[in-house]
C-alpha cells in the first residue's frame, strides 16, 4: 500500500524450508498460518522486510487463502556527528518512548513528532492532537524514503505541546524538575511556571532555567553594558542605587505594587521601563537571558533576596 505493486521472478527465490529437522515450523511458515487463523487483514512493518514478502504470498496462494494488505513503513535514521545518516541506534540518543519521557518530553509531543516521521498530512499543519492525527491520517501520505530523527525538531514540537497544556497540569508535571519543591521559592511556583511554560522544549530544560533563582551565578559586569538600552556601568550603578533605596521602603511586595514602583522610578529618571530595568534584571539573575523580566524576578525572589542581589551588583560595579 506504500510502495505499490512489486514483481519478483520465482527463479530468484530459494525453495522454502517449512519444517525444521525437529518437526518445528519455521518462522516464515508459522507466521503466515498464525496471521490467517487470527483473521489479520493488514500487516504493518518496516521496509527492510519487503524482501521476504514473496515467500509469504506464495504460502497464502498455496493454501488458497486471501493475503492481507501490506504496509511497509520507511526506516527512521539518525544523524551522526559528522553529518552522515545511518539507521537509528542508541548512539544517536534515546531510541525508546520511555527514554524520551525520562529526558523530559511529554507523550503528546513524542506522538505528534513520531507521526510526522515518514508521513505528511495534506496540509501545512505540523502540531496535532491525537484526535486530529486520527482524523487526518491516510496511508497515502506515507513516504517511501527513510526519515531522519531530528532532536531539534522534536524539541520544537514538544515545546508547542507544552505551551498548549492546561497551566495547572503543567505546574504539577514541571514542579519536580524545578528544584523549588519544599523550598521558600515554592510559594512563587505558579508565577515561575507561567514564565517557563512557553519557553521550554522539554521538562529537563527547567533546572538550567531556574538555577539562578536558587543561587546567583558568578557573572561579569560586562553584562550591564548594553548599547540598545544605552546602559553603561555608570548608569547601571545609578539605577541600582535608586532601586535599592526605593524598594527597601516597599512593604507590599506584590506584582502590582512592584510594577507601579519601578515604573515610577523609571519616569523620575526620564527613562522607558526597558532601559531602566535592564541593570536590575542583570543584578537579580546574573544572566543575559532570563524567563521573565525584572518585575517578575523581583516578585519571585522576594524582598530580602532581591535587595541582597542588587546590593551585591552595586559592589561588583
pTM over 0.85: no
pLDDT at 93: 67
Summarize pLDDT for 189-211 with one digit per residue, the tens: 999 999 999 999 999 999 999 99
pLDDT at 80: 81
pLDDT at 94: 60
Nearest to 2 by CA among 40, 39, 42: 42
DSSP line for 242-259: HHHHHHTT-----HHHHH
Residue that the C-alpha cell 553584562 belongs to: 223
Select which of 20, 61, 87, 90 is catalytic.
90
Would you tell me how many other CB atoms lie within 10 Å of the CB of residue 5? Answer: 4
Nearest to 284 by CA among 199, 219, 200, 197: 219
- Which residues of the chain have a pLDDT value below 70? 90-95
CATH class of 76-163: mainly alpha
**Which of these CATH numbers, 1.10.10.60, 1.10.10.10, 3.40.50.2300, 1.10.10.350, describes 221-316?**
1.10.10.350
pLDDT at 17: 93
For 74-146, where are the E strands, in sequence order? 76-79, 85-87
Summarize pLDDT for 13-33 with one digit per residue, the tens: 988 899 999 999 999 899 999
Residue that the C-alpha cell 530468484 belongs to: 12
CATH superfamily to which 10-73 belongs: HUPs (3.40.50.620)
Q: Which three cell numbers stand for residue 262?
A: 519601578
pLDDT at 261: 97
Query: Residue ranges of the domains in the chain?
Result: 10-73, 76-163, 165-214, 221-316
- Decide if 90 is catalytic: yes
Q: Please check whether residue 109 is in contact with residue 161, taking contact to mean a CB–CB distance below 8 angstroms.
A: yes
pLDDT at 86: 78
Amino acid at each position: 500500500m506504500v510502495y505499490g505493486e512489486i514483481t519478483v521472478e520465482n527463479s530468484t527465490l530459494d525453495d522454502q524450508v517449512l519444517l525444521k529437522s525437529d518437526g518445528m515450523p519455521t518462522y516464515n511458515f508459522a507466521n503466515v498460518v498464525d496471521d490467517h487463523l487470527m483473521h489479520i487483514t493488514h500487516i504493518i512493518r518496516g521496509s527492510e522486510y519487503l524482501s521476504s514478502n514473496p515467500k509469504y504470498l506464495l504460502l497464502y496462494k498455496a493454501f488458497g487463502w486471501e493475503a492481507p494488505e501490506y504496509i511497509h513503513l520507511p526506516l527512521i535514521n539518525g544523524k551522526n556527528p559528522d553529518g552522515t545518516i545511518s539507521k537509528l541506534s542508541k548512539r544517536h540518543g534515546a531510541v525508546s518512548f520511555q527514554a524520551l519521557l525520562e529526558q523530559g518530553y511529554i507523550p503528546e509531543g513524542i506522538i505528534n513528532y513520531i507521526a510526522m516521521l515518514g508521513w505528511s498530512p495534506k496540509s501545512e499543519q505540523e502540531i496535532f492532537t491525537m484526535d486530529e492525527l486520527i482524523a487526518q491520517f491516510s496511508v497515502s501520505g506515507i513516504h517511501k524514503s527513510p526519515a531522519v530523527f531530528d532532536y531539534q525538531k522534536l524539541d520544537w514540537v514538544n515545546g508547542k505541546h507544552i505551551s498548549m497544556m492546561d497551566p495547572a497540569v503543567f505546574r504539577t508535571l514541571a514542579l519536580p524538575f524545578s528544584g523549588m519543591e519544599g523550598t521558600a521559592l515554592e510559594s512563587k511556583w505558579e508565577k515561575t511556571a507561567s514564565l517557563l511554560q512557553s519557553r521550554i522544549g522539554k521538562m529537563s530544560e527547567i533546572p538550567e532555567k531556574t538555577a539562578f533563582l536558587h543561587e546567583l551565578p558568578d557573572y561579569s559586569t560586562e553584562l550591564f553594558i548594553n548599547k540598545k538600552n544605552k546602559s553603561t556601568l555608570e548608569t547601571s550603578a545609578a539605577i541600582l542605587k535608586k532601586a535599592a533605596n526605593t524598594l527597601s521602603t516597599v512593604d507590599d511586595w506584590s506584582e502590582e505594587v512592584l510594577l507601579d514602583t519601578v515604573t515610577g522610578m523609571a519616569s523620575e529618571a526620564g527613562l522607558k521601563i526597558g532601559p531602566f530595568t535592564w541593570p536590575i534584571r542583570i543584578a537579580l539573575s546574573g544572566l543575559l537571558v532570563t524567563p521573565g523580566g525584572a518585575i517578575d524576578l523581583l516578585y519571585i525572589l522576594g524582598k530580602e533576596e532581591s535587595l541582597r542581589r542588587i546590593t551585591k551588583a552595586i559592589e561588583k560595579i
